[in-house]
Amino acid sequence: MARARTLGPIPLSWWGGGLAIGLILIIATALAEPIGVSTQYVVLDGVLLHALAPATVAQSPYLEKTAKGWTLETYEFFFVLGIPLGAFLAALATRRLSTRVVPAEWAGRFGPSPAKRLAWSFAGGFLLLFGARFGGGCTSGHMISGISQLAVSSMLFTAALFAAAMLTVRYLYSHPNRPNLPNREGRA
Amino acid sequence: MKLLLGLILGGAFGAALQMSGASSYTKMTNALRLRDFTIIKLILMAIGVGMIGVNLLDALGLANIRIKDLYVLGILGAGLIFGVGLAVSGYCPGTALAAAAEGKPDAWATVLGGLLGAAVFAFLFPELEEHLLSIGSYGKVTLHGELGIAGLWLAVPLGGLLIWLAFRLPLKEVDR
């Protein structure tokens, strides 16, 4: 699956993207509230569970408190809904839509198996949101919004996040001949 | 009106993430391996600009400030778990949504895993709150609050430093 990349170049520079995100944060803070994403995963869970299995929802006061009124018609949810919409339109306009399952970088280290990549990205997503809800925010809410507001909790979260992420990536990528991981030819 | 505002701001955020390469597994992984500083420079720039702007708004009484509680052990543990998730998936909760919309199936898996992780947390929360989240709890602590000064006094030099760092770091771009 590690086919050659035929996508166009990245259309926005780091400073253009950073400036845009900083300005979005400033506008959001003035007109509504600082940006945040991870809470809305809980809200969507709550609304879905409330519709499908109302009895289980009653066991989580956290869910009831977070998904206020069991509705998705909030500013916060629509902000998060906007992210895939904006990303889709941007990718469409710049011809960067992609259906690759296994990133080339991953395939070069862990082999071309789509099932393996999907399983690990699912596990990664589980840890991301478990951690984000545990800490009360993610890259948006803690790192970008929180540090901008000079919040100490957000600085601590960010420091722990980068330390763990850099060590994990180093562990994952720095041992090409580790026996129980696949080698560069993709053998298990 | 509020819903439309949310959709527009979120849409701009998603487009910015997508167009600057933040929703790329390769870019994120190489950022964490210190081989491609695109995303690091982008984050430094975003926080630098945001910090100065938000604190300027606050000085004018126009900011809707939301400070998150500091509970040392919980925040540290949460950051460590989140960091491992970021390293394994190559996405964060926001960029996973952007990458999923680009059509990448592994990002869909990350979003689904995230929904499960958030649900598990929601049902474990009462336990965690009782045992872990109360350790080292200090409430809504900010740097400027501790010093007893207006945020702008710190935001201008600190935000300026972050922007300077963003420009100063090499790009080391690996676009594969």
Angstrom distance (rounded) from CA B88 to CA B40: 18
Angstrom distance (rounded) from CA B80 to CA A161: 5
| Assigned token pair, B33 | 């391996």
Assess whether pLDDT exceeds 90 at residue B129.
no
Residue B70: DSSP 8-state: E
A134·B29 Cβ contact <8 A: no
pLDDT given at position A177: 54
pLDDT given at position A188: 38
Angstrom distance (rounded) from CA A19 to CA A14: 8
Identify the H or E element spanning B66: none
Between the CA of residue B98 and those of B64, B93, B95, B120, B132, what are the distances in Å?
26, 9, 5, 24, 33
Assess whether pLDDT exceeds 70 at residue B90.
yes
pLDDT given at position B127: 76
| Assigned token pair, B143 | 């740097």
Tell me, yes or no, if B4 comes closer than 8 A to chain A by beta carbon. yes
Substitution target from A130, A162, A174 for chain B, most B beta carbons within 10 A: A130
| Assigned token pair, A130 | 């478990």
B7·A156 Cβ contact <8 A: no
pLDDT given at position A175: 64
Residue A7: DSSP 8-state: P
Whole-number average pLDDT of chain B: 94
pLDDT given at position B174: 63
pLDDT given at position A186: 44
| Assigned token pair, A106 | 């991953």
Give the pLDDT of chain A (188 residues) as one tens digit per residue: 444 455 667 899 999 999 999 999 999 999 999 999 999 999 999 999 999 999 989 888 899 999 999 999 999 999 999 999 999 999 999 999 999 999 999 999 999 999 999 999 999 999 999 999 999 999 999 999 999 999 999 999 999 999 999 999 999 998 655 545 444 444 43
Q: Are A43 and A80 in contact (CB under 8 A)?
A: no
Work out the minimum CA distance from B70 to partner chain A, whole angstroms.
5
Nearest CB partner across the interface for A44, out of B102, B115, B175: B115
Across residues B45-68, what is the average pLDDT?
97
Angstrom distance (rounded) from CA A89 to CA B3: 19
pLDDT given at position B175: 52
A84·B140 Cβ contact <8 A: no
Across residues B88-114, what is the average pLDDT?
98
Q: Which chain A residues are closer than 8 Å to B118 by Cβ?
A: 38, 41-42, 45, 129-130, 132-133
A138·B13 Cβ contact <8 A: no
Q: For residue B139, report the phi and psi dihedrals to the nearest 5 degrees.
A: 80, -155
* Count of A-B CB contacts under 8 Å: 522
Angstrom distance (rounded) from CA B144 to CA B137: 18
